[in-house]
């Protein structure tokens, strides 16, 4: 992946806007817009319960609930990185679904995502851009809520009937392929559906998202397979796992059902893996 010349006129770097949503109509959000035209929403520092309760439908064994504190506010990408943003900074576009500049970039490895962020830091003359940590991702996804799908519980794993808490906010197997046209599974342009209460789009559904954390994937002692980190302990602050030869991914994909769209759901790939459902979003430190 080689950088290509970019000529972009300067834009106002920081603006404050009112993000008006059906979920939180009066919420005022600070939005940072960089020179590439990427919008970032200010996420406040705070504490939350990460993971899922044992009663949650679709829960996995590695989602132990624990208290996490995010000590510093940060800017979270309003959307997944789009193909238009990718094309303006680096080339070629790796996406399997080359359908337009507003579609999320897909088929990027963790290494590709980190390389893009390196180019972005160089372009902006900073070192503040990076992937979100796993804890930051779930904290931003939940947006102060504690339900499986942010806007409600999981009620069905079926792709043949709508999930009430997803249908207006996430592209998943029901509305990304079965609802119309039939069996035409694919991602969709960002910002077509409603954002979460903190003004972030497609945190659940569309493409899955790489995060910064490393992980192991198999427990020999427990005989279980899945994301394994040392960070799922109570009262931890700003967790980041650096041990392991795999990388964590969060957020379900356009082809998956409600189980995989849950805020607590965790999965993994090797950092060289590329899938047509894999993308990422970027964090900017304050």
Domain range spanning residue 93? 2-285
Question: Which residue, 230, 278, 280, 254, is CA-closest to 114?
Answer: 280
Predicted local distance difference test score (pLDDT) of residue 28: 66
Burial of 70 from C-beta contacts in 10 A (0-12 / 13-18 / 19+): buried
Predicted local distance difference test score (pLDDT) of residue 260: 98
Q: Which residues on neighbouring strands pair with residue 56, listed in sequence order? A: none
Predicted local distance difference test score (pLDDT) of residue 103: 97
CATH number where 55 lies:
3.90.1580.10
State yes or no: cis peptide before 92, omega within 30 of 0.
yes
Average pLDDT along the chain, 286 residues, taken 10 residues at a time: 46 36 51 96 98 97 97 98 97 94 98 98 98 98 96 94 95 79 78 97 97 91 88 98 98 95 98 97 97
Predicted local distance difference test score (pLDDT) of residue 89: 96
Please tell me the distance from the alpha carbon of residue 209 to that of residue 275, in angstroms, as a whole number. Answer: 11
Question: Which residue, 220, 204, 188, 35, is CA-closest to 104?
Answer: 188
Predicted local distance difference test score (pLDDT) of residue 276: 95
Tokens of 176: 């990304």
Radius of gyration of the chain (CA): 18
Count how many domains the chain has.
1
Predicted local distance difference test score (pLDDT) of residue 21: 34
Predicted local distance difference test score (pLDDT) of residue 178: 62
Predicted local distance difference test score (pLDDT) of residue 5: 42
């Amino acid at each position: 992946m080689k950088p290509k010349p970019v000529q972009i006129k300067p834009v106002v770097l920081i603006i404050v806007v009112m993000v008006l949503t059906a979920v939180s109509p009066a919420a005022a959000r600070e939005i940072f817009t960089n020179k590439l035209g990427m919008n970032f929403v200010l996420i406040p520092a705070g504490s939350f319960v990460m993971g899922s309760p044992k009663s949650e439908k679709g829960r996995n064994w590695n989602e132990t609930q624990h208290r996490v504190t995010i000590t510093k506010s940060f800017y979270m990408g309003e959307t997944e990185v789009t193909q238009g943003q990718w094309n303006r900074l680096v080339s070629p576009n790796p996406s399997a679904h080359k359908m337009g500049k507003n579609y999320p970039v897909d088929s990027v490895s963790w290494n590709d995502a980190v390389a893009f962020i390196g180019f972005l830091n160089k372009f902006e003359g900073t070192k503040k851009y990076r992937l979100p940590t796993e804890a930051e991702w779930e904290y931003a996804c939940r947006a102060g809520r504690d339900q499986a799908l942010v806007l409600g519980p999981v009620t069905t794993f079926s792709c043949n009937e709508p999930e009430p808490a997803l249908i207006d906010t996430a592209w998943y197997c029901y509305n990304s392929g079965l609802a119309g046209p039939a069996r035409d599974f694919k991602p969709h342009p960002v910002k077509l559906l409603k954002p979460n209460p903190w003004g972030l789009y497609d945190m659940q559904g569309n493409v899955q998202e790489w995060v910064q954390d490393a992980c192991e994937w198999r427990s020999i002692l427990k005989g279980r397979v899945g994301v394994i980190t040392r960070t799922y302990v109570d009262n931890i602050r700003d967790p980041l796992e650096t041990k392991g030869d795999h990388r964590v991914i969060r957020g379900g994909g356009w082809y998956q059902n409600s189980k995989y769209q849950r805020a607590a759901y965790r999965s993994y790939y090797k950092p060289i893996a590329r899938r047509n459902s894999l993308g990422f979003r970027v964090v900017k430190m304050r």
